[in-house]
Amino acid sequence: MSRSAHPAGPRHADVLPEGHYAAPPVDLNALDPKVWAQTVTRDEDGVVTVGGVDVKTLAEEVGTPAYVLDEEDFRARARAWRTAFGHDADVFYAGKAFLSRAVVRWLDEEGLNLDVCSGGELATALSAGLAPDRIAFHGNNKTPAEIRRAVEAGVGRIVLDSFQEIVRVAHLARELGKRQRVQIRVTVGVEAHTHEFIATAHEDQKFGIPLAGGQAAEAVRRALQLDSLDVIGIHSHIGSQIFDMSGFEVAAHRVVGLLKDIRDEHGVELPEIDLGGGLGIAYTSEDDPREPHEIAKALTEIVTRECEAARLRTPRISVEPGRAIAGPTAFTLYEVGTVKSLEGLRTYVSVDGGMSDNIRTALYDAEYSVALVSRTSDAEPMLVRVVGKHCESGDIVVKDAFLPADLAPGDLIAVPATGAYCRSMASNYNHALRPPVVAVREGEARVIVRRETEEDLLRLDVG
């Protein structure tokens, strides 16, 4: 799903299987800063360190598999988004990428707001002490109980996703004697260039209310009539892992078009627009993501230009990056269990995790890179498939990658750019125990989400 091109490179084995593979990197020991967290480097013994802690020590202390998160990098990325958008805009980190109480506190300290999309995420944010008015609540089918909790807590905005929800939120807010700030999520009819499962602005899908046919305008009309709703703006999220800014441009153009229609019909200028998240990151060296300041500049310019043309006051912009903040900040540390060479076919490297800690390869055909991290090696590159320990052949972590030919059981390997949508989409398939998340910073490692235990599993089994 990364947009990496994969020309067939020089071949390093007699027979190579059909498939996508790039040329082997010139230096297998090198760690491309594009895909590795900022503080990742090798120490004088060739062992990879992050935040000043080496991976061998981490493996001893917390075991493998483990998600290892560079706290300094996470904070720096959050800060870069905040700074890029300045004081006239708001940055809501999308908690679905990865959320824990520590993350909420980091975001709070770095001045970001939070987008939650379930009661569980809301509970996490509130329990970490985030001010409720800095929370946006999303989802295409929020339950009445979730809505009640959000309104009671006083969340800063609820993003309304259907006609039924407009009435539902209005009703619950009235019952609670509150006036709830809301945005209305629209689908602008853009085909984002990304995997079909994570594109969200074309009309035929479950999110949002289509601009087409006047449905979004009708939703605004109805919401404006309800006293218990304070309609503060329009929301659009076009998809995820996007590199091309043109989709955002079209979205901004159409959202501003709706603001203009609303002004013309109701005499009201809605004060905010949210352009969602979706900015892509580098999973392999071939991906070239945009920097937050470029994105901020592009989005601000588009909205300002469109508003000037429509003679509207420029609304306050908000954005919701998830992957672009969390994704590059973590890698998954695995121990190699077996190396199986199938004559003339392929070499399989089995690790002690798999699709239960990273479903993205199986689900979206996502591409990842991998490196030997417990030592360096001068051995020849060997084309491998990194697979997990689950009971199915689709349990692939990295489809095609080069590792040194002397790779052996007990070696530690790591898959970078797993900070987003890996722990948050992890499962207990085959009763796997979900790995911990270890935050490292200034020579210290701190478990922020602990490893599951068999007791955790059995506690739920009450039959």
Active site residues: 391
Contacts of ligand LLP in 143-172 (CB under 6 A): none
> In angstroms, what is the minimal distance from the CB of 362 to ligand LLP?
11
Q: How far apart are CA 74 and CA 103, in angstroms?
A: 9
User: Which member of 2, 241, 356, 369 binds ligand LLP (CB under 6 A)?
Assistant: 241
Q: Say which DSSP state 211 is in.
A: S
> In angstroms, what is the minimal distance from the CB of 128 to ligand LLP?
19
Q: Which helix (H) or strand (E) holds 181?
A: strand 180-187
Q: Is 335 exposed, middle or buried (0-12, 13-18, 19+ CB in 10 A)?
A: middle
Which CB atom, from 113 or from 347, has the smaller least distance to ligand LLP?
Answer: 113
Residues in contact with ligand LLP, counted by CB under 6 A, come to a total of 23
> In angstroms, what is the minimal distance from the CB of 454 to ligand LLP?
28
350 binds ligand LLP (CB under 6 A): no
User: Which member of 322, 353, 381, 388 binds ligand LLP (CB under 6 A)?
Assistant: 322
Q: How far is CA 133 from CA 52, 82, 100, 152, 270, in A?
A: 36, 17, 19, 11, 19
Sign of CA dihedral 207, 212, 216, 218: negative
Question: Cα dihedral angle (270, 313, 259, 200), rounded to 10 degrees?
Answer: -90
User: Which member of 421, 426, 435, 437 binds ligand LLP (CB under 6 A)?
Assistant: 421
Cα Rg of the chain, angstroms: 23
Q: Is 109 exposed, middle or buried (0-12, 13-18, 19+ CB in 10 A)?
A: exposed
Q: What is the 3-state secondary structure (H, E, C) of 248-287?
A: HHHHHHHHHHHHHHHHHHHCCCCCEEECCCCECCCCCCCC
Which CB atom, from 412 or from 422, has the smaller least distance to ligand LLP?
Answer: 422
> In angstroms, what is the minimal distance from the CB of 325 to ligand LLP?
8
Which CB atom, from 199 or from 336, has the smaller least distance to ligand LLP?
Answer: 199
Which CB atom, from 142 or from 346, has the smaller least distance to ligand LLP?
Answer: 142
> In angstroms, what is the minimal distance from the CB of 224 to ligand LLP?
22
Which CB atom, from 96 or from 434, has the smaller least distance to ligand LLP?
Answer: 96
> In angstroms, what is the minimal distance from the CB of 2 to ligand LLP?
10
Which CB atom, from 323 or from 346, has the smaller least distance to ligand LLP?
Answer: 323
> In angstroms, what is the minimal distance from the CB of 172 to ligand LLP?
21
Q: How far apart are CA 244 and CA 294, in angstroms?
A: 12
User: Which member of 240, 284, 347, 376 binds ligand LLP (CB under 6 A)?
Assistant: 240
> In angstroms, what is the minimal distance from the CB of 321 to ligand LLP?
5
Stretch that binds ligand LLP, among 5-13, 274-282, 289-297, 340-348 (CB under 6 A): 274-282
Q: Say which DSSP state 80 is in.
A: H
User: Which member of 51, 278, 419, 435 binds ligand LLP (CB under 6 A)?
Assistant: 278
Contacts of ligand LLP in 126-145 (CB under 6 A): 138
Q: How far apart are CA 187 and CA 165, in angstroms?
A: 16
Termini Cα distance of the chain: 41
The site map against ligand LLP for 69-98 (x = CB under 6 A) is -------------------------x-xx-
Helix (H, G, I), strand (E, B) or coil at 427: coil
Paired sense of beta strands 371-372 and 412-416, if any: antiparallel
Are 366 and 397 contacting, i.e. CB atoms less than 8 angstroms apart? no
Which CB atom, from 74 or from 402, has the smaller least distance to ligand LLP?
Answer: 74
Q: Is 426 exposed, middle or buried (0-12, 13-18, 19+ CB in 10 A)?
A: buried
User: Which member of 90, 110, 115, 165 binds ligand LLP (CB under 6 A)?
Assistant: 115
Q: How far apart are CA 338 and CA 327, in angstroms?
A: 28
Q: How far is CA 341 from CA 261, 344, 349, in A?
A: 64, 9, 9
40 binds ligand LLP (CB under 6 A): no
Which CB atom, from 28 or from 117, has the smaller least distance to ligand LLP?
Answer: 117
Stretch that binds ligand LLP, among 41-49, 263-271, 310-318, 420-428 (CB under 6 A): 420-428
Stretch that binds ligand LLP, among 32-40, 246-254, 275-283, 292-300 (CB under 6 A): 275-283
324 binds ligand LLP (CB under 6 A): yes
Footprint of ligand LLP on this chain (CB under 6 A)? Answer: 94, 96-97, 115, 138, 198, 237, 240-241, 276-279, 320-324, 360, 364, 420-421, 425
